[in-house]
Amino acid sequence: MSVPVLEVQELTVEYVSDERAVRGADRVSFTIHAGEIFGLAGESGCGKSTIANSIMRLLKDPARITHGKILFDGKDVLGMDEAELRAWRWNNVAMVFQSAMNSLNPVTRIGEQFVDVIRTHRGGTRATAMQRAEELLKMVRIDPARLRAYPHQLSGGQRQRIVIAMACALNPRLLILDEPTTALDVVVQQEILEQIRDLQNELGFAILFITHDMSLMLELSNRIGIMYGGRIVELAPSRILHHDSRHPYTQALLGAFPPLHGPKVKLTGLAEGVKFTNVQDLEDHGDGHWVAPTDQPVLSQGEAL
C-alpha cells in the first residue's frame, strides 16, 4: 500500500455562536493516496466544502476545528504556523473553488496572473515563469497567445480551465476541486474533466473531488465518500458504490440521477422530510466498503414508470 498523501482523522468542525454550536463536520475520517481521485459527495450543507476548507486551513470564525487531525505526507497541517502554511499552500496542495472562473483578476492579463503565482511561491525570473505558463496553457489546450488576454475576453469554460492550470502551476501533490464544473454546460464540463484527467496523468497529483452530481462523481473518482449532515455515511470504491450501495441515503442520491439508457423505471429519491439522525460510525463490509449502520429501510426501486 502506498503512503497516503492526505490523512483526515476524526475531523470535527463546529460553527460556534453565542447560543449554540452547529457541527459542520463530525468525526470525518478518510485517506487519499498518491495519484488517487477521492470524491466527497453530498447535498448542500452536508459539510463537504467545510472539509475542503479545513484541509486548506481556510476556515474563518465562527468555524472552529474542535477535534481531529489532518496529516499531509505525515506532517500535521493543523500545527503549521502562518509562514509554514504560506510555503505549503499551492506548492503542495492547491484548490479550485466553485465558480473559480470568477476569481481571476479582471484588470490583469492572464499571463501576469500566472507569473504572479509562480514567482511568489518559487521565485525565478519573469521569463521562466512565462514559459511555464505557456506549457500549462498548452496542457489545457488553450492557445498560449491567450496569455495576453484579459479574463473577460475568454469564455466561462476557458477561464475555468485557466484556473485549473494555475492550480497545477507548482506541481502540487494534491488538488482539491470543489464543484469545478457546476455552472457550465455539459459539453464544456466533459472537456474540463477530460483535461483534469490528462493533467493528472502528466503531473501525477492526487485529487479530492467535491460535487453533488453522482453520475459525474462515479465517472471520475476511484473512491467515494458520501456525506450527510457532517458525517460520512458510506465509503467505497466507485464500482462497489455504484452497484452495491447499502445506505438508503446513498441510494437516494444515486436514484436522483435517472439513467440515459435502458428501460424507463420509476425512481423514488428521498421522501420529503426523511432525516437520518445520530449517524453511527462506519462498519467494515469488506473490499474497502464502509457503511454507517441505520435502521431506515432500504429504498425499493424499479417499478415501471
Contact call for residue 275 and another protein (CB under 8 A):
no
Number of residues located near another protein, criterion CB under 8 A: 40
Residue from the set 1, 107, 127, 271 that interacts with another protein by CB under 8 A: 271
Which residues lie closer than 8 Å to 257 by C-beta, 6 or more apart? 213, 214, 215
Q: Is the peptide bond between 62 and the residue preceding it cis, with omega within 30 degrees of 0?
A: yes
State the cell numbers at 183. Answer: 455552472
* Piece of the chain touching another protein by CB under 8 A; list 24-32, 70-78, 168-176, 260-268: 260-268
Which of 294, 299, 289, 296 is CA-nearest to residue 279? 294
Q: Give the bridge partners for 71, in sequence order.
A: 7, 76
Q: Does 163 bind another protein (CB under 8 A)?
A: no
C-alpha distances in angstroms, 228 versus 47, 114, 295? 8, 37, 16
Q: Is 102 in the site for another protein (CB under 8 A)?
A: no
Nearest to residue 49, comparing CAs of 63, 37, 36? 63
Interface pick for another protein out of 18, 19, 81, 272 (rule CB under 8 A): 272
Amino acid 38 reads: F
Task: Tell me if 131 contacts another protein by CB under 8 A.
Answer: no
β pairing state of 283-284 and 93-96: unpaired
Give rounded-to-5 percent helix, strand, coil for the chain.
35, 25, 40
302 contributes a contact to another protein by CB under 8 A: no
Measured CA to CA, the distance from residue 196 to residue 251 in angstroms comes to: 27
Name the segment binding another protein (CB under 8 A); options: 11-19, 28-36, 166-174, 256-264. 256-264
Residue 190 makes contact with another protein by CB under 8 A? yes
Which of 194, 244, 283, 287 is in the footprint of another protein by CB under 8 A?
A: 194
9-68 residues in contact with another protein (CB under 8 A) are 43-44
CA separation for the pair 1, 237 (Å, rounded): 15
Q: For another protein, give the closer residue by CB, 124 or 302.
A: 302
CA angle 38, 214, 258 (to 5 degrees): 160
Could you give the CA distance from residue 202 to residue 289 in angstroms, rounded to a whole number?
A: 30
Q: Does 270 bind another protein (CB under 8 A)?
A: yes
- Among the candidate windows 51-59, 67-75, 120-128, 252-260, which touches another protein by CB under 8 A? 252-260
Q: Which stretch binds another protein (CB under 8 A): 15-23, 93-101, 147-155, 261-269?
A: 261-269
Cβ distance to another protein smaller for residue 54 or 211: 211
Interacting residues toward another protein by CB under 8 A? 43-44, 141, 185-187, 189-191, 193-194, 212-216, 218-220, 238, 242, 249, 252-253, 255-261, 264, 266-272, 305
